[in-house]
Amino acid sequence: MAPITLFFIPYAGGSASVSFKWKKLLLPQIKLVPLELAGRGIRSGEPLKDSIEEMSEDLLLKISQEIAPGDPYAIYGHSMGTMIAFELYYKLVAGGYGKPAHLFVSGGRAPHVPRDFPWAHDLPAEQFRTHLQRYGQLSEAIFDNRELYDYFIPVLRADFKAVETYEYMAPAVPLNCSVTALTGLTDNTMTLQDAEAWGQHTDQNFRIFTFDGGHFFIHDEVERITQIINETLERSAVTNRMQH
């Protein structure tokens, strides 16, 4: 298997460090590049972006520092990261980078599926906090620690605004790469059908894997997720070789 770069895009309020645990489990030929969004982690000094468009433009710049046009790459996005990944695909192809070997969309509804709950990003503090708790696993420590809370709330508000104000525009052409969706069976922010709907966006292979957990299964299922990535990228490398 030839070397390939895997870009990871985190969820709302999340940091790229979520994927650090993957490194030791991914095949040595897979170079993991966690993409940090502006305003958090190592980029916490930068101003936050509050639209999917701005976020995808920003990450396009970061990706262009990691790969050259024609280099093999794949993208894994979780939750909000799936929306950014979808928009990034078209920006990368338009920018001459070629299509990714694979797109992994995890914990996120297909981009055309309408959101069925009201906006939360501009709710008063207490109501916003209540809304956040429906996602589960948002650590109580954040709510109990004033300093952490003051740091995270602007990040979460900006991210929720990006997700809630996103307007899906049907692209002229479907995704020309294989897509794998991963979803938690007890995710109370979306349905299994919302994840299956990703299949409508690609003219290549589509597969879906389900997990027992909720929205943040990504934290508990590191071994199975990395196994799916390894097997998928290995298979895509073989298919690629046969076609050339």
**Is residue 79 flagged as an active site residue?**
yes
One of 79, 106, 178, 236 is an active-site residue; which one?
A: 79
Q: Which of helix, strand or coil describes residue 172?
A: coil
C-alpha torsion angle, residues 220, 23, 73, 36 (rounded to 10): 70
Q: Let me know how long the chain is.
A: 244
**Angstrom distances, CA of residue 134 to CA of 144, 179, 215:** 17, 28, 10
Task: Write 217-225 long-range contacts (CB < 8 A, 24+).
Answer: 217/107, 217/182, 217/184, 217/187, 218/11, 218/18, 218/78, 218/106, 218/107, 219/18, 219/137, 222/21, 222/22, 222/25, 223/25, 225/22, 225/106, 225/182
What's the CA gap between 195 and 182, in Å, rounded?
8
Q: How many CA atoms lie within 13 A of 149 on its CB side?
A: 12
Which residues have a catalytic role annotated? 79
